[in-house]
């Protein structure tokens, strides 16, 4: 009996030793060397600069972690729309997404400040404000919603497309059924301009344009082309009414579970991918406009006088919404805008 018992103990020790020497993903070594996998999803397709930059992020993370951190990338809303993916991060079922500020403001209201039309006159001012003290401080507001914001990417300046007429004045917007993002400020702005705004997720826009549910929509040229909205639209007007901002988000639970070196790898890669994405977006904007014209879109610029008319028309709406923001926050934003110009 003693021999049988001793043999049993030896077998048990062997099995335990073998289990400790191998982990579930096939890696050997300590727990700190276990491969970390993260899901990163965006709403746009695999040809858009945003997704190309996400691939650059993946490449850098995997290279700089020596393959110990793996990034699984998903495009075209495969993991859901912006709102769903933000919720995925909060629930821990997804690690990274890069949403626009319109749906993000439903989680952290302070981000509504970036949904004010005509906020940034050009990309240089936008970069200065977003990458400076104001933008950095705003990212800390995400903490309470179990999110980590690392930096801002560029969606670009929005142009209005529609099937009825070129937009050359406020009068031309009256009565148009325009799809907007799901954000109250944008809805009220377009109402003030005389349009009939309809909020909906990006993935629903093409079919809604095709079926005549809405007459038009507003987005940067890159998104208009890659989403093939030109197949359903006749006119595009360079209103530059809104500068779209994306926020690089990471699940707080996931991020805080990493060590400092791993966090640095992710942050550095997101910054380099941000710079790449901004440059790609800016370099390709005119190319996208030309492609849209080649596809039959009638493109027109909008006079400075007409743009000023739009600004003057919506100013009462912006004044009203400004009351919802902390006074000190608005002062800091105005100072940042002034310093950048």
The predicted pLDDT at position 193 comes to 97
The predicted pLDDT at position 155 comes to 95
Asked if the 36-340 domain carries CATH number 3.40.190.170, the reply is: yes
Residue 30 and residue 8: Cα distance in Å, rounded?
28
pLDDT digits (tens, 9 = 90+) for 155-212: 999 999 999 999 999 999 999 999 998 889 999 999 999 999 999 988 899 999 999 9
The predicted pLDDT at position 211 comes to 96
Spatial contact of 213 and 202, defined as CB atoms under 8 Å apart: no
Long-range contacts formed by 281-284: CB under 8 A, 24+ apart: 281/49, 281/154, 281/155, 281/156, 281/220, 281/222, 282/123, 282/154, 284/49, 284/222
135 by Cβ neighbours in 10 Å (0-12 / 13-18 / 19+) ranks as buried
The predicted pLDDT at position 15 comes to 41
* Position 264 pLDDT exceeds 50: yes
pLDDT digits (tens, 9 = 90+) for 101-157: 999 999 999 999 999 999 999 999 999 999 999 999 999 999 999 999 999 999 999
pTM score, whole prediction: 0.86
DSSP codes joined into one string, 77-140: TTT--HHHHHHHHHHTS--EE--BHHHHTTTSGGGGGGGSTT--SSHHHHHHHHHSHHHHHHHG
Q: Length of the chain in residues, anyone? A: 341
Residue 242 and residue 111: Cα distance in Å, rounded?
14
Domains of the chain by residue range? 36-340
The predicted pLDDT at position 341 comes to 85
Average pLDDT over every residue of 88-110: 96
More confident residue, 25 or 276: 276
> Which residues lie closer than 8 Å to 162 by C-beta, 6 or more apart?
176, 178, 215, 216, 217, 233, 234, 235
* Position 251 pLDDT exceeds 60: yes
Average pLDDT over every residue of 41-64: 97
Percent of the chain with pLDDT over 70: 90
Give one word for 18, left, alpha or beta, with left for phi > 0 and alpha for psi -120 to 50.
Answer: alpha
Using pLDDT thresholds of 50, 70 and 90, give the confidence band for residue 22.
Answer: very low
Residue 114 and residue 120: Cα distance in Å, rounded?
9
């Amino acid at each position: 009996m003693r021999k049988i018992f001793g043999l049993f103990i030896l077998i048990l020790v062997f099995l335990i030793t073998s289990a400790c020497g191998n982990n579930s993903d096939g890696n050997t070594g300590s727990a700190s060397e276990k491969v970390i996998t993260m899901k990163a999803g965006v709403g746009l397709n695999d040809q858009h600069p945003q997704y190309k930059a996400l691939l650059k992020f993946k490449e850098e993370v995997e290279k700089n972690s020596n393959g110990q951190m793996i990034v699984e990338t998903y495009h075209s809303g495969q993991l859901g729309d912006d709102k769903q993916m933000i919720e995925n991060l909060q629930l821990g079922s997804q690690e990274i997404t890069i949403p626009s500020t319109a749906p993000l403001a439903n989680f952290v209201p302070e981000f509504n400040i970036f949904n004010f039309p005509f906020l940034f006159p050009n990309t240089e001012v936008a970069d200065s404000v977003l990458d400076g003290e104001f933008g950095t401080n705003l990212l800390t507001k995400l903490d309470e919603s179990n999110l980590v914001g690392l930096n801002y990417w560029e969606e670009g300046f929005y142009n209005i497309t529609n099937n009825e007429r070129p937009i050359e004045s406020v009068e031309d917007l009256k009565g148009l059924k325009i799809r907007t993002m799901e954000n109250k400020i944008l809805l009220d702005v377009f109402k003030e301009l005389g349009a009939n705004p309809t909020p909906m997720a990006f993935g629903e826009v093409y079919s809604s344009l095709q079926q005549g549910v809405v007459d038009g929509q507003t987005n940067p040229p890159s998104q208009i082309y890659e989403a093939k909205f030109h197949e359903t639209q006749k006119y595009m007007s360079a209103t530059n009414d809104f500068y779209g901002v994306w926020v690089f988000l990471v699940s707080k639970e996931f991020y805080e579970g990493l060590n400092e070196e791993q966090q640095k790898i992710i942050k550095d890669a997101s910054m380099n991918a941000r710079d790449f994405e901004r440059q790609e977006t800016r370099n390709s904007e005119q190319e996208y406009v030309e492609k849209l014209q080649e596809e039959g879109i009638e493109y027109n610029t909008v006079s400075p006088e007409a743009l000023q008319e739009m600004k003057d028309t919506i100013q009462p709406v912006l004044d009203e919404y400004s009351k919802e923001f902390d006074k000190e926050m608005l002062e800091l934003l105005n100072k940042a805008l002034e310093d950048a110009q």
